[in-house]
């Protein structure tokens, strides 16, 4: 599997049912640090930016295989079915999310679109041998907003762990200041005018095979060993 961020890749299924990347077709454009598909119909699943066993033992290949190959894929497949033949069929993913947020008659499209976007963002929020010290430019911003990297890390942990039920913990930029927020289910800070910098998935499918009910252990391990501060900085813009 490709180990580099995606730029111009297409997706195919290997014999184990997981998605692998091959150079070529569906052109992607970088939006901040996150690649996105330039053509929206049908939307394709960006490849993981690392091998499915690259986050082991913090996140096992088993968890990653199901999470990416089944859950993420299902959101995308559902979305493509829901938007076929509609006004959303040719929209980029981010526009579908924005256009359906808060609309009761578009909940299914929003949920699947936002979850498709959130998961791609989450994969890039992690990296093998992550954690540690943020790059200097981000560290300065963190210190200006939270006082210290440790204070930011603690707030990210406690806020994410405390999300009631399924959802996400986020580091975001709002009005030039870094903030930590949490969202329930598919909700994303994008639709509230915030710029996401990092995401941590706390749906049970993100950790249950490896940690069972120990969500705090999963979140702390992700922050200490996988979190991709360079990706956060790339999203500052
Ligand atoms: Fe997930």
Distance between Cα 180 and ligand 1 center (Å): 19
Between 20 and 152, name the one with better pLDDT.
Answer: 152
Strand partners, 181: 170
pLDDT exceeds cutoff 50 at 131: yes
Strand partners, 172: 179, 196
Distance between Cα 210 and ligand 1 center (Å): 14
User: Which chain residues have CB less than 5 Å from ligand 1, an ion?
Assistant: 201, 203, 206
**Percent of the chain scoring above 90 in pLDDT:** 82
Q: What's the pTM value of the predicted model, to 2 decimals?
A: 0.84
pLDDT exceeds cutoff 50 at 194: yes
28 to each of 22, 38, 83, 91, 210, how far by Cα in Å? 13, 5, 20, 14, 32
Of 177, 11, 182, 191, the C-alpha closest to 110 is 191
Give the position of tokens 């295989």: 65
Tens digits of per-residue pLDDT, 147-180? 999 999 999 999 999 999 999 999 999 999 999 9
Of 161, 170, 180, the C-alpha closest to 219 is 161
Distance between Cα 147 and ligand 1 center (Å): 31
pLDDT exceeds cutoff 50 at 91: yes
Tens digits of per-residue pLDDT, 203-233? 999 999 999 999 999 999 999 999 999 999 9
The angle formed by the CA atoms of residues 10, 44 and 235, to the nearest 5 degrees, is 90
pLDDT given for residue 218 in this prediction = 98
Give the pair of three-digit tokens for residue 192: 């509230």
């Amino acid at each position: 599997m490709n180990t580099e961020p995606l730029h111009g890749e297409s997706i195919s299924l290997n014999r184990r049912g997981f998605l692998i990347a091959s150079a070529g077709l569906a052109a992607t454009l970088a939006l901040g640090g996150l690649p996105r598909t330039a053509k929206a119909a049908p939307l394709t699943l960006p490849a993981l930016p690392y091998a499915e066993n690259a986050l082991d033992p913090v996140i096992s290949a088993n968890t990653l295989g199901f999470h990416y190959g089944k859950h993420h894929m299902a959101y995308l497949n559902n979305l493509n079915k829901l938007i076929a033949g509609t006004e959303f069929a040719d929209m980029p993913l981010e526009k579908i999310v924005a256009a359906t947020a808060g609309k009761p008659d578009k909940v299914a499209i929003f949920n699947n679109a936002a979850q498709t976007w959130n998961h791609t963002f989450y994969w890039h929020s992690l990296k093998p041998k992550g954690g540690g010290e943020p790059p200097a430019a981000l560290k300065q911003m963190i210190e200006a907003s939270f006082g210290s990297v440790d204070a930011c890390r603690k707030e990210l942990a406690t806020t994410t762990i405390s999300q009631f039920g399924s959802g996400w913990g986020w580091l975001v930029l709002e009005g030039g200041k870094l903030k930590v927020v949490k969202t329930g289910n598919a909700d994303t800070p994008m639709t509230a005018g915030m710029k996401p910098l990092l995401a941590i998935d706390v749906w049970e499918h993100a950790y249950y095979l490896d940690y069972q009910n120990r969500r705090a252990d999963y979140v702390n391990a992700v922050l200490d060993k996988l979190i991709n501060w360079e990706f956060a900085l790339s999203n500052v813009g």
